[in-house]
Structure 1
C-alpha cells in the first residue's frame, strides 16, 4: 500500500514538474513584428527600469512606472514610448509622445492585465533607434472585471480632471506631477450588473498637455488603461504659467482644464 501511494505521489510530481517546465507562450516576437515592422530593437535595460507588482492585488488597476536613468542614457533623446501588455486583447495600453527638451521622460500610470504576461516598454529615440525593457506580472481578469460604478454613476463626474502638484514645485526645478482623469474606461468586455448587457467600449483616447502653450506630453490611450486613468510625468517650468490639459474619449467627448503651475507663492 505504501509503495502504491509513493507511486501516485511520484507520478503527480512528474506531472507538476512537466507543467512547471512548460515554456511561456510568448506573443512578443509577433507583436514586435506587427508594431515595429522591419525595425531592430536594442536592449534598454541599462537605462530603462520598469516597476510593477510581481503579483497584482487588483488586475484591473495595476500600477506601473517606467523610469529612466538619465546619467546612463549617453545622449539618447526620447521621442516616444509605447507600453505593451503582451497578452491583453488590446496589447498597446498607451503611446507617449515627447517634445524636444523634455526634462525626464519617466512615466507612471495604471493598466489592466488580462492574464499572466510580460509588459514591454519600447522607447523610440530621436535618431530612430528603438530600445526595450520588460517586466512580468501575474494577474488575470483585469479587462473584464466589473467597473467600480454603474454606467449611470460613472457619468456623474465624467471627464473631471485633477492635477497633483507638490508644494515644493518652483520654476526651473524638475517636478513630478500627477494627472487624474475621471473616466470609466470601459473595455467592451464588462457586463452591466443591472441590465446584464455588455457595456460598449468607452475609453480615454487622446490627452494633450501644454505649459504656456508649449507641448509637455501627448498620450494615445486604449482599453488597457485602467478605470480613471492616471499619469505621472515630469515638468521643469521656466516660469509660472498655465498648464492646460485637453482630453478626448473614444466617443468624441472632450474635456479641458487649466492650472497655474507652479502655483503662486
Structure 2
C-alpha cells in the first residue's frame, strides 16, 4: 500500500517548473569527459528532448525528474542522469529498448546542494544531446530514511502497474528498498549507516528489454520509475540486485498487476 501511495504521489505531482535553466557549473566541466567519453559539450537540443524538475524541491530526498522526448526525433537508447553537486554525481545510467520510443521517463532523486540536474542522452544515430534544470535543494543525500528503524521492512517487495495511454501504456515500477546513501546517520548510535542501494535493474516484457539501470546513491529510497512503452502482450518481469548481493525477481501479468 505504501509503494502504491508513493507512485500516486509521483504521478500526481504539481507541474514541474520550466523556468530554471542550467547554470554555469565548474563541477560539470571537471566530470564531463568521464561521463560522456568526450571533451565535447553535448548540445542542448529541445527539438529532441527536455528534462523537467522543480525550481525549488519540496523534499530534497525525493526530487521528481521527468524526461520527455519529442515524437519523430531519433530514438534515445541511453541516458545518464547527473546531479552535479552530489557526492556521487551520476545518479543512474539507463538503457531503453525500442518499445519505449519516444521516451517518457520519470524517477525521483536526491539533491544534496543547489545543483544542476542534467540528462545526457545517446541517440540511435550515435549523437549525444543534453537537457537539464537548476534545482534549489539541500541535504537530500543525508536525509534520514522515511521508515526510520523499519526502513528495511519488506525490502525487495515490488509492484508494477500499467495504465493505457492510447496505443501505448505508462508503466510504474516500485521497489521497496531504503537505498541508504552512506551519508545518513543511525538515529540511535549517531554513526553513519553504510551505503546499501539498488545497483542494477532489468525490466522486460517477454524477451524484450524495456529498461536497464546501473544506479548509485542519488536514486531516492523506495525507488519509483514511470516509463511509457508499447505493450506486446507479454508478461512483465523485473530483475534487480543491490550492493549487498541481494537479488530481487518479480513477474506481473501483461496488463500490469
Normalising by structure 2, report the TM-score. Answer: 0.85
Q: Larger Cα Rg: Structure 1 or Structure 2?
A: 1
Residue 30 (structure 1) shift: 1.5
- 2:134 & 2:256 partners in 1: Cα distance? 39
Contact 1:65 1:109 in 2 (8 A): yes
> Which structure 2 segments of 5+ residues have no match?
1-22
Paired residue for 1:249?
Answer: 242
Displacement of 1:164 in angstroms is: 2.0
Deviation at 1:93, TM superposition (A): 0.5
| Contact kept? 2:204, 2:210, Cα under 8 Å | yes
Kept after mapping to 1: 8 A contact 2:97/2:210: yes
Match of 1:37 in 2: 37
Determine if contact 2:43/2:129 at 8 Å carries over to the other structure: yes
Per-residue CA deviation, residues 95-119 of structure 1 (Å, 9 max, x unaligned), is: 1102245333221000000000001
Q: Show the counterpart of 2:84.
A: 86
How many residues align? The count is 234
TM-score, reference length from structure 1: 0.83
Q: Which moved more, 1:97-106 or 1:60-69?
A: 97-106
Cα 1:31–1:242 change in 2 (3 A) is same
1:158-197 correspondence to structure 2 within 5 Å: 158-166=155-163, 168=164, 173-197=167-191
Q: Displacement of 1:28 after TM fit?
A: 1.4
Which residue in the other structure is 2:93 paired with? 95
Deviations 1:161-182 (A, max 9, x none): 011222x479xx2111111111
- Which among 184, 195, 199 is matched to residue 193 of structure 2? 199
**Quick one: distance in 2 between partners of 1:251 and 1:114?**
24
Aligned in 2, Cα 1:146/1:99: closer, same or farther, shift over 3 Å? same
Alignment of 1:62-77 (within 5 A): 62-71=63-72, 73=73, 76-77=74-75
Partner of 1:49: 50
Compared with structure 1, are the counterparts of its residues 104 and 25 closer, same or farther at alpha carbon in structure 2 (3 Å cutoff)?
closer
Indicate the SS of the match to 1:33. Answer: helix
Structure 1 unaligned runs (5+)? 1-22
Alignment RMSD: 1.9
Call closer, same or farther: CA 1:148–1:175 in 2, change over 3 Å: same
Contact 1:211 1:244 in 2 (8 A): yes
Q: What is the CA-CA distance between 1:27 and the residue it aligns to?
A: 1.3
Q: CA deviation at 1:140?
A: 0.2
Residue pairs, 1:4-153, within 5 angstroms: 26-38=26-38, 40=40, 41-71=42-72, 73=73, 76-151=74-149, 153=150
Match of 1:238 in 2: 232
Partner in structure 2 of residue 16 of structure 1: none
Among candidates 209, 219, 227, match of residue 221 of structure 2? 227
State how far apart, in whole Å, the 2-side matches of 1:52 and 1:130 are.
21
Contact 2:53 2:64 survives alignment (8 Å): yes
Deviation at 1:84, TM superposition (A): 0.3
The offset of 1:24, in angstroms, is: 5.5
SS of the counterpart of 2:180? coil
8 Å Cα contact 1:169-1:262 kept in structure 2: no
Deviation larger for 50-59 or 230-239: 230-239
